[in-house]
Structure 1
């Protein structure tokens, strides 16, 4: 076993920070199959403080975990089988994080430790994030991707303290899919999830069964996360979780990314596999890191031709899709259902690698060690997957009678706000007499060429609710990105498909005032929608300058739900808003301010 490096200089420069790569086997979370155990339709999952070893060369790390597992147990259910879960909070003590922020240029950058000097004093510019050490375990669970009534959805304000339970009911009336559960407590989601509160949830159905996909020990969840760790006075890694974030020159904290990549709670694990097809349910469970996944051998040669994408957030694709040439980019909260054929590589080792990394982060995520043998594998890659899949098209499979929602994503620094913002927009008949005007955006409709004027009507979570959608109706969400980082936008309650992706010229948006000085010209064609992106999804990458439209039907659940950026630091700092789904018969009796929130009626 390689000895842990303790010299501070080596810790700063070595991409593995003294830890041996591929030393520890991949951990596979335990599976809870409630409908197979005495036909039970209820579970109790208990959150508790526990100690885990992220790497065998590290001391133990304190985390908060579901049933004491990091990540939590994989819950596996049958489509249409209702499940009730009591999420019980029995977490002792305060937040197990050291949370600090400091200047970007401060050595050793975003590596471990590096915020105190040898005497334990904070380095210039660094500060402990006020209030984090005092945070109690205040938790609420969101089943991400589930179509369930709002009372079961994990409303952010409905978190509970130790000694209490959150009672939920999941109808599971969805096709076979990969979902996940995680904490969603108001304003502290980024901290709670970072402590370990995440796990996977799988729905099975007859359509999936008929494909005879790899299963049992040949089907494995891969939850990808990144973390940082503290160091002692000698520079040795302590195992303590370190939530260290840099601060931009504007004073705005930058979302967390860490130098250590974990798969199923282990840093750089390995997995022994047979030379045959395997199925991997891949989830990006990071706070804010994007992964660009490639399969490479020991020489660095890429073998993405051995990989097929068979599903995304909301279930199976109509047919297997190849990985994009540069690799598969997964934003936080996105899922990919992957098949890998190891039969071509007996006796070899392959690595799952993130080719998008910058800074002091080791790009390798894990290693596959292929058995040196030739085994019979009866699995044949099917040409067709989901025969129930229908591609959504505006005006046909999305009926003409549908609602529209407009959301503006505005860059950091807009109107003096250091953080990026999410504006709910309402169309108005007349523009202001003088432009730019704060909160007014003029867009040119790509279909008609007409200039449309929109006004910001809400921004913070607790502003007046403005989006109301009739139960059973289709709605097209227009996500208009006026500048800044890529945002993975997650909409609760339904599943969606990307309809269009256009590219905007955003030069007419005045960030000082917070409005357009001239109407933005009609958008041009944007990035093509790849085959694997045509599937059902609940989380969408929206890049700067893009106007993305997604469509979904709000059927099968009602109540007040949330949508937000799934960069958890952005979500906690204002990029989250509510919307309501209610029966149209009730809607006409509903009085609310302004009368302008009837989007979807």
Structure 2
């Protein structure tokens, strides 16, 4: 839950002279959710960059390092110190290069850590658990988000390593193998180090990973490709006048957690590492692959001209069965969207992509969404296109075959309670899952090949984007409930017995639910690896612990350090809203 921490007014109005790039201005007190505003920057003056493509080979290992760099994020800002991925210090960029793999063809990536800082770029709160290398340095470990990956290559938070050669307790290797058995889709890779994921991602350690169809499968003629396929990494940051990132150094509850901020919301929107960029486009269809790489901000995106809409063709796990024509799309942290916009309807116009997402979501604190967060980027549409005929090929009404219906009849049901704990001033100090921390023993043991229904029961005031490693899943349904009555012990959240078979007895006879199970919202349709779970609601997902097409994994998923499920508000994840799970070959454990 968000609480705006108010301190003496002079802290937020101090004037700081810019210092050398990479140094934090002296005497700054960066207070959680009351940060000094960014410098006044002009919008839409920088061209949208496109991250470099690196094509992964089935036979060759790519070495990708994490480096400390500086990079211009706006025309009028000095270069910003960042951590970034690249094949060398000179090629490293924020966001990192787009890695392109081929479906069902293995790829091999070695991740290295070349960050020589003695401490992470932003203040580490040492009252929460984190990697804490004895010899100092910046721990990193890379997770392929959405990948069907053996656990030794999954980027377990405890598999971190430093440039000094120190390793976490789950470390096995830095040579990762990706099977790429999921459907063609856009994934992303990012840092996942224990307790400092929020710091390292905000510092720049993130990039797209796109699984493409095999060459023998012809790309549909209606689908924009090459220069008309544009990746968009969206997020928010706050800046000091010297170009460095303003990240909280004083937390929500300083007496308990001096530096941890429950949710980082900033006043400036970046796309592909540029502040409010513009993109010149032809009057034709474009395909946009969107990633929300923000710490906590949920985006509700729209276009400034009502003649235009988003045609949503895919989500986290690939193409939808049917396209959706939407005026607004919702994307929470770590989710991806596959969208088509037809600019042929507005030749010669300037079109703005805007944001109206509440922060926190869905109940807003207006101060956390200043005017700068309402703009995302600008499209400048040319009058003519070089490819007029191809643009008229319609998007089909069905994009792929329907998925087989997964029955809940024999599914194993799990409850995942989401709880917030506050200090005596009602400031948040921790969010937990089933009242357990990351370091407590594994409690979920799914059986390989089995089907399970997970119920995310949200007792907190905020929506949480819940992510499950290894697999893609489907939304089942959701129900709101009377939280106050439940807390008083006056009702039950028990699902009716006929919905599943491993129902637990419950003495309460009155149902807490205030409605019948509801179907999916537009942003909950399709294959997902991250699902936004709303407050005072039970959000149910159905998981089959196989590949997307129902076949066994091409590796043994029971080996190695295991997998993770967590909230992808990275500020929550770092403060124990994350749990391990282990797959097993039999049902001796659940």
TM range (shorter): 0.7 to 0.9
2:242 counterpart (238, 244, 248): 238
3-state SS of paired residue (2:573)? helix
What is the CA distance between 1:161 and its match in structure 2? 0.7
Change (3 A) 1:371 1:506: same
Residue 220 of structure 2 corresponds to residue 224 of structure 1:
no
Residue 343 of structure 2 corresponds to residue 335 of structure 1:
no
Matched residue, 1:34: 56
Change (3 A) 1:313 1:387: same
The residue correspondences of 1:443-592 to structure 2 (distance < 5 A) are 459-510=436-487, 521-525=512-516, 528-555=519-546, 556=553, 558-559=557-558, 560-584=562-586, 588=588
Matched residue, 1:368: 379
What is the CA distance between 1:249 and its match in structure 2? 7.1
3-state SS of paired residue (1:343)? helix
Q: Deviations over 1:114-152 (max 9, x none)?
A: xxxxxxxxxxxxxxxxx99x9622100000000111111
2:223 counterpart (213, 234, 239): 213
2:99 counterpart (43, 61, 75): 75
Partners of 2:35 and 2:146 lie apart in 1 by 40
Q: Which has the higher strand share?
A: 1
Q: Deviations over 1:502-559 (max 9, x none)?
A: 11111134499xx999665245136641345220001011111111110111122513
Root mean square deviation of aligned Cα: 3.2
Q: Deviations over 1:143-170 (max 9, x none)?
A: 0000111111111001011165711110
Change (3 A) 1:201 1:328: same
5+ residue gaps, structure 2, are: 1-12, 19-33, 87-91, 126-131, 166-172, 359-365, 494-506, 547-552
Partners of 1:154 and 1:351 lie apart in 2 by 37
Change (3 A) 1:91 1:524: same
Q: Deviations over 1:186-208 (max 9, x none)?
A: 01111111110000001112678
Matched residue, 1:48: 67
Length-normalised TM-score, structure 1: 0.76
Partners of 1:381 and 1:351 lie apart in 2 by 24
3-state SS of paired residue (2:97)? strand
> Looking at both structures, which has the greater relative contact order when contacts are Cα pairs under 8 Å and sequence separation is at least 6?
2
Q: Is the 8 A contact 1:97 1:241 kept in 2?
A: no
Q: Is the 8 A contact 1:88 1:166 kept in 2?
A: yes
Matched residue, 1:378: 390
Partners of 1:381 and 1:153 lie apart in 2 by 39
Matched residue, 2:322: 319
What is the CA distance between 1:413 and its match in structure 2? 2.9
Change (3 A) 1:460 1:15: closer
What is the CA distance between 1:467 and its match in structure 2? 0.6
Partners of 1:532 and 1:98 lie apart in 2 by 33
Residue 282 of structure 2 corresponds to residue 271 of structure 1:
no
Q: Is the 8 A contact 1:410 1:421 kept in 2?
A: yes
Partners of 2:303 and 2:93 lie apart in 1 by 28
What is the CA distance between 1:248 and its match in structure 2? 4.5
Change (3 A) 1:248 1:533: same
Partners of 1:13 and 1:466 lie apart in 2 by 39
1:60 counterpart (79, 104, 123): 79
